[in-house]
Structure 1
Amino acid sequence: MTDLLTSIQAALGLPHTPIAFTASGALPSAFAVTDLACASIAVAGQAIGELLKQQTGRLPAVEVDRRLASFWFATSLRPIGWQVPPLWDPVAGDYATQDGWIRLHTNAPHHRAAAENVLGICADRAAMAAKVAQWTSQDLEQAVVDAKGCAAQMRNWAQWQQHPQGLAVNAEPLVHFICDQHPCGKTWQGSVAQPLAGIKVLDLTRVLAGPTASRFLAGLGADVLRIDPPTWGEPGVVPEVTLGKRCARLDLKVPVDRAVFETLLQDADILLHGYRADALENLGFGVERRRQLAPGLIDVGLNAYGWSGPWHNRRGFDSLVQMSSGIAEAGQRWQHADKPTPLPVQALDHATGYLMAASAITLLTERLHSGRSGSARLSLARTAKLLIEHGRGTDEALRAEDDQDKGLLVEQTPWGPAHRVQVPVKISGTPLQWALPATELGSHQAQW
């Protein structure tokens, strides 16, 4: 645990400050998933502590509950009398090929269409399995990717270390900070209770990693505005990740909406984006254009497979990176299973999300100190490397106590009432709390 924490602190430029970890138990896994959860949440809390120390002279204590951290890496939401829609499309999942295994990610309609353009229309998993079995893993992976879909062949760690993309990821830092010389004269408007009050966060991220980052920032007082395309939906995660945010829709291919986006960007303090590496460039909002529109902007970007190498523009998700990087194969051997065995939670997403939040806060702290802004780049694949290289997991089962919902406030969501599990991190004097409940995508206007 200590090595993992100090590695992340070093990557973020944070001091090796001791952090208290309480409670016990761990998620059963071939890898130290609960340790990763605790360390990534801890550094996000520590980053806020460093900002407060700079602004007030007081360094708050940070404490992380191992059990609660594990729960938040699964889901923080406990619906009362209703259910969250399924996370996965009916045909998404792992399939046996002629020579191994492949995972198809079909949650988005256009990603399912891409897979079916290659394999043919499949009404159910049985039909999909019969078609996949006729392919080799590598050929099918490439065919689906060429069709603009999402797929990942199961590789082991040694194979990933020899793969050109694995080699590229190995050469990247966990967090790549880039200094920006544009001056920014904004002063701190926050308080100990709400350190990020007055900070505008423009969130262009989807699904879990980026939304986890913006949810954390919202809990510290930031004004978070999430922007989605007109038809995008992710019903299985929206109740989990929109807590504390306003959510609007814009089509960045339409001139009127592009103008609205530019106005929003000009007033933003932090931009979070999770598009493929070349996507914003192709939309005309590349790095230089963003700097022109918003000098002093803190720009934090995420992608799946890293920012260099032949796959740096490849579509990807947590479950696919687990297949590519050897995590699912290691889990299969650890559990003596007959199929790929991923992590018990989407830990790459959640951990990278907290590292994104910590990166944004660290850049904000520097901007308040020197007036200089900057950017940070992170990837799920680089977080996977961190997890794989920092210790084995455990086969113990985390106990879900019967009284976990007692004493919790009821959150009134559009889908019905729900509880949120208690927050896993305590920052003395700075409660993590959200002014807005979770909400539907597109339920607000695209304005600050």
Structure 2
Amino acid sequence: MESCYPVRSFAAASIAAAGSAVAELASRLSGAPVQAEADPDLARAWFGGSFRPAGWEIPPPWDPLSRDYPCTDGWIRLHTNAPHHRRAALAVLGLPADTGPETAAVAVRAWKGGELEEAVVDAGGCAAQLRTAEQWQLHPQGQAVRAEPLIGWSRRAARLPAETSGTPERPLDGVRVLDLTRVIAGPVATRFLAGFGARVLRIDPPGWQEPALEAEMTVGKSCTRLDLRTPDGTAKVRELVSTADLVVHGYRPGALAGLGLDEHRLQQLRPGVVTVALNAWGWTGPWRGRRGFDSLVQTASGIADAGMAWAAADAPLPLPVQALDHATAYLAAAAAVRAWTRRLDGEVNAARLSLARTAVELQRAADARRPVPPPWELPNERSERALPRTAEQTWWGPGERLVPPLDFRSEGPVPSMVWDRPAAPLGSAPAAW
């Protein structure tokens, strides 16, 4: 699918940022300069999905009700992939559990977009009214996000230098990463870290399922389940934090504090632990605590509206891939690797990012390219079918994964992006390193 946004170059830039961070760490370990370069075509393909099964099928990624709906004054998008988000939306609409999208569409037409958005969010669901970029810039949350840095850094008290078993080929070898993320952005970031040797332990709550994403996102990781709202679960996660080097989480502001795992407590449990946090809507503003996903941020921020206007379409037109998720993921991975490099010198940092702030960067990149008629760069793209892949065995069966999108160069040894563990289901490993 074409786009009025420079998705290909944006993908390459974000992956290159993560690669440069790895190159910096590898250079520190080897003493020889290391350079990283991202392949734009492979980067764009990785944003769409790196794995395809052979002889078996991956479940569809979207719940039938997750879509755009016309309302009385425009459009609204409902996100119902999680069962509790689906229940919240249907409860607001007054519809039964087995409702299909056609019946839901009839009910949505009776609502104003802003009122339905607010009602669904208040009920614990996820929705976003379609806005133009101009409307989003005037919105309190849009204004708040534009004032935030792309990566928000904060420095903790310096500690003794950390030890490392990393090598130029596997710069993150032995680094223990506690992964408290779900869906796309966080898992992509930790998959990247695992690709360079990190020991990633992903924790999901009981019952949480992501069948369409497991083969894509769990490669290189151990995946376990803990109920952090129980005493046993809390005790176990604190035990894991106490031996972690890096914590990557996707909790909204204040949510970890409610579990007794705010930044201060994390530092008490593991002095010097590096933390990287991601959320949907940003860290300031009235929506900072709101649940959100890539498709909703595209809808609210004007990206889907711009696509609709550009294509003269009769419905919102999002990006051809969930580029906000993926770009934020690689920027988070870059932050994690850079923070770990500084950690080796005794400097302790925390970083936070958001999909909404990444959207600002994409929109600025598009604005800077406006003299060039969109769609951009498509004539030079290689067909995704022609891109190289390697055979891979997963828990479910065989398949193929795209070759890594990064190329490293040095007179000495260079990093290698490979995964030591096959993709496996959520909850398939014990809660241990």
Could you say which TM-score interval applies, normalised by the shorter chain?
over 0.9
Is contact 1:184-1:295 (8 Å) kept?
no
Which residue matches 1:134?
A: 110
59, 62, 65: which one aligns with 1:88? 62
2:338 is matched with which residue: 347, 356, 362?
Answer: 362
Please give the alpha-carbon distance, in whole angstroms, between the structure 2 residues aligned to 1:138 and 1:358: 36
**Deviations 1:257-278 (CA, angstroms, capped at 9, x unpaired):** 1111111001111100001112
Query: 1:383 and 2:358 equivalent?
Result: yes
Q: Counterpart of 1:178?
A: 154
Determine if the alignment matches structure 1 residue 439 to structure 2 residue 428.
no
Q: Which residue of 1 aligns with 2:397?
A: 416
- Alignment-derived partner of residue 349 in structure 1: 325
Indicate the residue corresponding to 2:216 in structure 1. 240
Counterparts of 1:250-265 in structure 2, within 5 Å, are 250-265=226-241
1:400 to 343, 366, 383: 383
Q: Secondary structure at the match of 1:203?
A: strand
- Superposed CA offset, 1:145-190 (max 9, x none): 0001000000001000100000100110000000011414322211
Q: Confirm or deny that 1:372 pairs with 2:374.
A: no
The percentage of aligned residue pairs carrying the same residue is: 51
Give the structure 1 partner of residue 80 of structure 2: 106
Question: How far apart, in 2, do the equivalents of 1:236 and 1:409 lie?
Answer: 20
Report the AA paired with residue 221 of structure 1.
G
* Structure 1 position 76, deviation (Å): 0.3
Within 2, Cα distance between the matches of 1:59 and 1:74? 32
Compared CA separation, residues 94 and 184, structure 1 to 2 (3 A): farther
Q: Does the CA-based 8 Å contact 1:184-1:373 persist in structure 2?
A: no
Aligned CA distance change for structure 1 residues 402 and 349 (closer, same or farther; 3 Å): closer
Does the 8 Å CA contact 1:182/1:295 hold for their aligned counterparts?
no
Separation in 2, partners of 1:52, 1:413: 29
Query: Matched residue of 2:189: which SS?
Result: helix
TM-score by length of 1: 0.91
Gaps of 5+ in 1: 1-26
Please show how residues 44-123 of structure 1 align to structure 2 within 5 Å.
Answer: 44-121=18-95, 123=99
Q: Distance in 2 between matches of 1:403 and 1:273?
A: 35
For 1:384, give the aligned amino acid. A
| Equivalent residue letter for 1:434 | W
- Structure-2 separation of matches of 1:368 and 1:110: 42
TM-score normalised by structure 2 residue count: 0.94
Moved over 4 A (4+): none
Q: Which amino acid aligns with 1:444?
A: A
Per-residue deviation, residues 355-397 of structure 1 (Å, max 9, x unmatched): 000001111111112x021100100000000000112451637
> How many residue pairs end up in the alignment?
419
Query: Aligned partner of 2:395: which letter?
Result: P
Who is 1:145 aligned against?
121
**Residue 425 (structure 1) aligned with residue 423 (structure 2):** no
Q: Which residue does the alignment assign to 1:29?
A: 3
1:340-363 CA deviation, whole Å, 9 max, x = no partner? 000000000000000000001111
Superposed CA RMSD: 1.3
1:163 has 2:142 as partner = no
Tell whether the 8 Å contact from 1:154 to 1:329 is kept in structure 2 after alignment.
Answer: yes
**Greater alpha carbon shift after TM alignment, 254-263 vs 104-113:** 254-263
> CA offset at residue 54 of structure 1?
2.4
Q: Where does structure 2 lack aligned partners over 5 or more consecutive residues? A: none
Q: Distance in 1 between matches of 2:382 and 2:29?
A: 40
Give the residue type in structure 2 aligned to 1:352: T
Equivalent-residue separation in structure 2 for 1:286 and 1:192 (angstroms): 33
The one-letter amino acid of 2:13's match is: A
SS at the partner of 1:225?
strand
CA-to-partner distance for each residue in 1:42-100, whole Å, 9 max, x for gaps? Answer: 01010011112223221212121111111100010121011111110011110000000
The residue number in structure 2 matching 1:312 is 288
